[in-house]
Amino acid sequence: MLPRYFCFERSNLCRAVCYDRNVTLSICSSVIGSSLTEYWGTMDTSDTYDNAPSAKKSGRTSLLDSGEDFEVLDEEDIDDEPPPLEDAGGGKVKNADESEKKHSDTDPDAGSQVDEWMDVLGNDQLKKKTLEAGDGRDSRPQKGQNVKIHLKTYLMDGRLVEEQADLCFTLGDGDVTQALDLSVMLMERGEKALIHCDAKYAYGARGSLEPEVPPNAKLSLEVVLLETTNAPDVELLPPAEKIALASCKRERGNVHYQRGDYAFAVNSYSIALQITESSSKVDISPEEENELLDVKVKCLNNMAASQLKLDHYDAALKSCVAALSHQPDNIKALFRMGKVLALQGEYTEAIQTLRKALKLEPSNKTIHAELSKLVKKHSEQRGAEQAMYKKMLGNPSSVSSGSNTQKHRAKASWGLSWKWLFGATAVAIGGVALSVVIAARN
């Protein structure tokens, strides 16, 4: 993953956060319009954005290949609307005149920023223009804060496809499209902005069914930043809200997976896992603990599926092991662990793991097919190894044949010696008997 960069403008933090140092400088320069004192750092890799490949097939995608794997995502988990994030409240939106006046007092360059396009990433594929100024740069949200916006989504031909009056999400968690996640971070509270974005920062090559967005569609977003609040302390959340928040992040990961954005899916599942693994400073019942554990195991299973798609086999194996440590008889974790081991060449362990999964669910045709394929492949590998050993050691059959011939000759020679000895003995005994008879007659 690529590092993200940030900079400081004197004592105030500039919230232009991008993947490229030069891009960040250009953004900060266009926003601040003054000299910058640079301080570069690298954010945590889990906070970065990678452009994962878009899904190749249309329609709903399961967490396993349709022709090979069984379904991982439960239908109710996908179709249910994600639980809303907790909102801690905030100030009211000021009218445009007061906002512009305050912004003009605090920012001498406010007038020049309105009606000017800002190239957010420096590639002309994500641009932002301020329509109405907000409360100043100090009111801009930071990564990890909760924001509430009024959003109107248009196609570039002007057709309205969606309007959300109170959309709440956490900045930087991948809860929304990249266009919103990156642009809202550069907005001021109360600001109204127009955002033009390329398809890859919106709904990509697949498009969307809800909202109805065609494939490879560029979008025009009209955004008003209504509120900015600090995210709640997870340790102080009531268990029900904690479970709902973790489930919301997990469901967002499911959406990323279905779209083929596997790196974003891993990021969402990681955030959900952090919530489930956080300690609780409030009382929690055994039933709620079990429910939270169930969400955790689902996240681990789905994360393993995403890591398999990214060919991160070691990470996928760790996710499977973690899931099985909580639920040793989890069919999906066993099946996926068998696949990972097979891909790593550990055929014996993979076969044992799949046989255990099949014993738990004998009617599962997918496990049957995978196990049969793996056993056949393992037999072919053993045959190839035996042929290689014969080639390395010569022709064992000819050596064995020569050895048998020598044994046969030795045996024949030994049999001939015994026959000669027996004949000589018989002749001697006969001679003695004849001598006795003659002597008796005399």
Predicted pLDDT at 378: 75
Q: Which residue has the higher pLDDT, 18 or 152?
A: 152
Q: Which residue has the higher pLDDT, 213 or 437?
A: 213
Q: What is the per-residue pLDDT across 287-346, written as a single tens digit (0 to 9) for each?
A: 999 999 999 999 999 999 999 999 999 999 999 999 999 999 999 999 999 999 999 989
Residue 56 in any domain: the answer is no
Residue 160 in any domain: the answer is yes
What total of structural domains would you count in the chain? 4
Q: Are both 270 and 377 inside the same structural domain? A: yes
Q: Are both 280 and 205 inside the same structural domain? A: no
Is the pLDDT confidence value at 401 over 70? Answer: no
Q: Are both 239 and 378 inside the same structural domain? A: yes
Average pLDDT, the chain: 75
| Confidence band for 418, pLDDT divided at 50, 70 and 90 | low
| Percent of the chain at pLDDT exceeding 70 | 60
Predicted pLDDT at 423: 65
The average pLDDT across 268-277 equals 95
Residue 241 in any domain: the answer is yes
Among 74-88, 342-356, 402-416, where is mean pLDDT lowest? 74-88
Among residues 231, 247, 263, the one where a domain terminates is 231
DSSP code per residue over 257-310: HHTT-HHHHHHHHHHHHHHHHS--SS---HHHHHHHHHHHHHHHHHHHHHHHHT
Residue 441 in any domain: the answer is yes
Predicted pLDDT at 383: 64
Residue 23 in any domain: the answer is yes
CATH code where residue 338 lies:
1.25.40.10
Among residues 199, 231, 263, the one where a domain terminates is 231
* Residues listed for the chain: 442
What are the beta bridge partners of residue 227?
148
Q: Are both 286 and 358 inside the same structural domain? A: yes
Q: Are both 348 and 361 inside the same structural domain? A: yes
Backbone angles phi, psi at 25, to 5 degrees: -60, -45
Is the pLDDT confidence value at 142 over 60? Answer: yes
What are the beta bridge partners of residue 163?
152
Range of the structural domain that residue 17 is part of? 1-50
Q: What is the per-residue pLDDT across 66-104, written as a single tens digit (0 to 9) for each?
A: 333 333 444 334 334 333 333 333 333 334 444 444 444
Q: Are both 265 and 348 inside the same structural domain? A: yes
DSSP code per residue over 308-325: HHTT-HHHHHHHHHHHHH
Q: Are both 185 and 301 inside the same structural domain? A: no
Is the pLDDT confidence value at 384 over 80? Answer: no
Residue 405 in any domain: the answer is no
Q: Which residue has the higher pLDDT, 257 or 108?
A: 257
Q: Are both 113 and 255 inside the same structural domain? A: no
The shares of helix, strand and coil residues in the chain, as percent rounded to the nearest 5, are: 50, 15, 35
CA proximity to 52, closest of 172, 174, 185: 174
Q: Are both 353 and 313 inside the same structural domain? A: yes
Predicted pLDDT at 79: 38
The average pLDDT across 33-44 equals 35
Q: What is the per-residue pLDDT across 98-135, written as a single tens digit (0 to 9) for each?
A: 444 444 444 444 444 566 899 999 999 999 999 999 99
Predicted pLDDT at 292: 95
Angle at 326 between CA 239 and CA 86, to 5 degrees: 20
Q: Tell me the pTM.
A: 0.62
Among 192-206, 253-267, 406-420, where is mean pLDDT lowest? 406-420
Q: Are both 216 and 266 inside the same structural domain? A: no
Residue 398 in any domain: the answer is no
Q: Are both 184 and 295 inside the same structural domain? A: no
Among residues 205, 231, 257, the one where a domain terminates is 231
Q: Are both 265 and 354 inside the same structural domain? A: yes
- Please give the C-alpha separations between residue 434 and each of 236, 439, 440, in angstroms, as whole numbers: 121, 9, 10
Predicted pLDDT at 170: 94
Predicted pLDDT at 221: 96
Other Cβ atoms within 10 Å of 246 Cβ, number: 27
Residue 72 in any domain: the answer is no
Other Cβ atoms within 10 Å of 393 Cβ, number: 9
Predicted pLDDT at 321: 96
